Amino acid sequence: MHWVFDEDVTVGELIEIQRRLARAESAFESVVGTLWAAGTLQKRLAGLTDRQIGQLLSDVVGEISSVFGPEMTICQHAALRLFRSAAERLTAQDIESAKAVDRVPKVRQ
């Protein structure tokens, strides 16, 4: 098993590597490899703009979701919000707030 990625590996390639590792026959490679790939992908995603994240979200979720499912509606809404982002990036305060929250807030009805 060889998990060294150079800086030329694209985000799309990292996504495919993580998917492949998640399906690995070896439990060790599946668990540890997937966690490692996810961490590497997370670092790479941190350097993308909001628009790039929105496009990635739309592309990746669009590949695996039904066009008529709620997942696609939510994904499209999130992507459009990111495309409208004025700052084109997260602020330091946004990042700290995200670290402080460890779950998705419940929607009040």
Distance, in Å, from the CA atom of 5 to the CA atom of 2, rounded to the nearest integer, reads 9
Cβ burial of 68 (10 Å; 0-12, 13-18, 19+) is: exposed
* Interval 66-109: pLDDT, tens: 778 888 888 888 888 887 776 555 555 665 565 554 433 343 43
Give the residue extent of every domain in the chain.
Answer: 11-46, 50-90
pTM, rounded to two decimals:
0.62
